[in-house]
Amino acid sequence: MRKKLIFTGVLWCVLLAVALWLLNALFMPKYMSEIPEGALIAEYYNETADHDVVFIGDCEVYENFSPDVLWREYGITSYIRGSAQQLIWQSYYLMEETLKYETPKVMVFNVLSMQYGEPQSEAYNRLNLDGMRLSPQKLAAVEASMTEEESMLSYLFPLLRYHTRWSELTAEDVKYMFHRDPVSDSGYLMNVEVRPAENVPEGAPLADYQFAEVCYDYLDKMVELCENHGVELVLIKAPSLYPYWYGQWEEQMEDYAAEKGLKYINFLELIDEAGLDFSTDTYDHGLHLNLYGAEKLSHWFGSWLRENCPQVADRRGEEPYETVWNEKSEAYAQRKAQLEAAWAAEQKEEPEA
Amino acid sequence: MKQKFAALALALGLTLSLAACGGGNAPAGGESPAPQNSAAPQAAGAYVFTTGDGVTVSVDEDMAQVLTDLGEAQSYFEAESCAFEGLDKTYTYPGFVITTRPDGENDYVNSIRLTDDSVSTVEGVYIGSSEADVKAAYGEDGGADQGMLSYTAGGVSLNFILEDGAVISIEYLPA
């Protein structure tokens, strides 16, 4: 009798756990047809081969660099672990987590997030953290990122956060309960639309241009982490025209890179050299590059990597990279063709002024 | 057997009721995670800006009304926020810049920044005024932030950024 009771109790617990797991899978936002940025972080775990270059940072990395070009033109294997408004502590923990899976030769970090010295918004936190696998790095990233209204528990049991979506559920939530379609190409979120940069405003004067101490702390930790793993850390500022990058910020980054012996590239100073034309190479008036701009920038950066980071090898002809990247290139070309056709159709329907 | 089914139904029912209960904030993914604050009616006594032509503009005002009053801007810039829908818009007029934030179908004034000495605050402070001028107009207690004097009234902050003792930026923002 006692055995039967225990068995029944265990059975009910298992059934309850399964029910909760299913509900969690149903209620989690899927980020497929809307806000694909939310699917970026988790996509990394589907990678089958390691990478020599890993980009870490906010939209200025996942919109501005094309790993496909780095492969096709230079045989460089790369991945972008980028996400929307990724804060520096999130970047640090993603970097630490990445090093659990692989040891690239170079980590590239975009420094725009140095401007944020405190947690910003739950909405962006969710896009950046929900996709991370449960790990000490995820817990630390959540702890560092939470705004006052958030709780750690809701990241461990997302159903606590997302149960209010019950009235918004769609067929997509059922379709993608157990899998996702890839939204990116090695972390690059492709956009082929063209909206020229015009009237980009200058930055408003600030009372204090000094980056927060906490940002320097995490940058120091990145330097140390990379040193400990024999990875070269390269700092960059992507060529996005907006938000404004102040001269005072640039000075601080140049000083920091010089002090730590790091390579630092401010692409805003290389717009002409990289061949970027902001009347054709941006899809949102200068905030992000479109595909054509990202390909130009990647062409320039691949050449720079070849010249300045000799540890980054040309993997063309080497397995498994050759097979993996040929498949990736095929998917990239297919996505490009689809997006270009959609954009052309949209233009035809509603020509922009 | 019936009891077992009833117990299972009860367990699932409890689970579903947890899943369906209201009360939380807007979901942070999928449909509506926009992080922006919503428009609030302008409180009485709030700092407002008056243009040289006598048009009054206030933080949180519907931008459609402002555009009707001020006419077309000298230049216009719009920036999509990363990932989320909605445009942050910047309207540049002679002497000042207005930025907006979206809320539903409408845009609301998020900031008004004075950019040259062709305009001034209602209290008579302009770009180039001295720190003493600001304190004389708004009081000694302008906060402890380095390089900035800040005053709040009616849910609006009026910030003066100073360089070498002179005002280089004046901005109206939601408090």
Cα A234 to the center of its chain, rounded Å = 16
Question: What are phi and psi for residue A153, nearest 5 degrees?
Answer: -55, -35
Burial of B119 (0-12, 13-18, 19+ CB in 10 A): buried
Nearest C-alpha in B relative to A62: B82
Which pLDDT value is given to residue B145?
76
Q: Tell me if residue B102 falls in helix, strand or coil.
A: strand
Asked if B134 and B142 touch (Cβ cutoff 8 Å), the reply is: yes
Q: In the predicted model, what is the mean pLDDT of residues B3-13?
A: 49
Query: Residue A38 and residue B168: Cβ atoms within 8 Å?
Result: no
Instruction: Count Cβ–Cβ pairs < 8 Å, chain A vs chain B.
Output: 134
* Residue A256 touches chain B, beta carbons under 8 Å: no
The answer to whether residue B23 scores a pLDDT higher than 80 is no
Query: Residue B18 and residue A207: Cβ atoms within 8 Å?
Result: no
Closest CB to B161: pick one of A28, A198, A207. A207
Stretch among A19-23, A318-322, B39-43, B122-126 having the lowest mean pLDDT: B39-43
Which pLDDT value is given to residue B3?
54
Structural domains in chain A plus CATH codes: 49-132+183-349 (3.40.50.1110)
* Residue B110 touches chain A, beta carbons under 8 Å: no
Residues 292-331 of A with CB under 8 A from B: none
Position with higher pLDDT, B38 vs A67: A67
Q: Give the number of residues written for chain A.
A: 353
Query: Residue B15 and residue A19: Cβ atoms within 8 Å?
Result: yes
Omega before A136 cis (within 30°)?
Answer: no
d(CA B157, CA A65): 40
Task: Extract the runs of DSSP E, i.e. beta strands, from A103-231.
Answer: 106-110
Which pLDDT value is given to residue B38?
38
Which pLDDT value is given to residue B27?
37
* Residue B76 touches chain A, beta carbons under 8 Å: yes
Q: Encoding tokens for residue A171?
A: 């067929």
Cα A144 to the center of its chain, rounded Å = 18
Nearest C-alpha in B relative to A11: B8
Q: Encoding tokens for residue B84?
A: 């989320």
A205/chain B closest Cα distance in angstroms: 6
B126/chain A closest Cα distance in angstroms: 15
**Mean pLDDT, consecutive 10-residue segments, chain A of 353 residues?**
86 91 90 92 96 97 97 98 96 98 98 93 92 96 93 91 89 91 96 94 91 97 98 98 95 98 98 97 95 98 97 96 97 97 90 55
| Host H or E run for residue B86 | none
- Chain B CB contacts of A195 under 8 Å are none
Residue A282 gets which letter from DSSP?
B
- The ipTM value here is 0.76
The answer to whether residue B33 scores a pLDDT higher than 50 is no
Q: In the predicted model, what is the mean pLDDT of residues B94-112?
A: 92
Task: Extract the runs of DSSP E, i.e. beta strands, from chain B.
Answer: 49-50, 56-57, 75-80, 87-93, 96-103, 106-114, 148-153, 156-163, 166-174
Query: Residue A164 and residue B24: Cβ atoms within 8 Å?
Result: yes
Q: pTM of the full predicted structure? A: 0.87
Which pLDDT value is given to residue B142?
85
CATH fold, domain B49-174, is protein yfey like fold (2.60.460)
Which pLDDT value is given to residue B102?
86
Which pLDDT value is given to residue B44?
64
Query: Residue B25 and residue A58: Cβ atoms within 8 Å?
Result: no
- Taking the CA atoms of A119, A124, A126 and A129 in sequence, report the sign of the dihedral they define: negative
Name the percent of chain B in helix, strand, coil, to the closest 5: 20, 35, 45
- Taking the CA atoms of A201, A205, A206 and A209 in sequence, report the sign of the dihedral they define: positive
Cα A344 to the center of its chain, rounded Å = 27
Task: Extract the runs of DSSP E, i.e. beta strands, from chain A.
Answer: 53-57, 78-82, 106-110, 232-237, 263-266
Asked if A190 and A343 touch (Cβ cutoff 8 Å), the reply is: no
Which pLDDT value is given to residue A167?
87
Exposure string of B25-45, with b = 16+ CB inside 10 Å and e = fewer, is: eebbbbeebbbbeebeebeee
The answer to whether residue B120 scores a pLDDT higher than 50 is yes
Measure Cα distances from A251 to A58, A209, A210, B61 in Å. 21, 10, 10, 38
Which pLDDT value is given to residue A93?
98
- Chain A CB contacts of B134 under 8 Å are none
- Chain A CB contacts of B28 under 8 Å are 29, 122-123, 125-126, 161-162
Q: Encoding tokens for residue B4?
A: 């077992």
Name residue A54's beta-bridge partners.
A79, A107
Nearest C-alpha in A relative to B162: A207
Query: Residue A123 and residue B33: Cβ atoms within 8 Å?
Result: yes
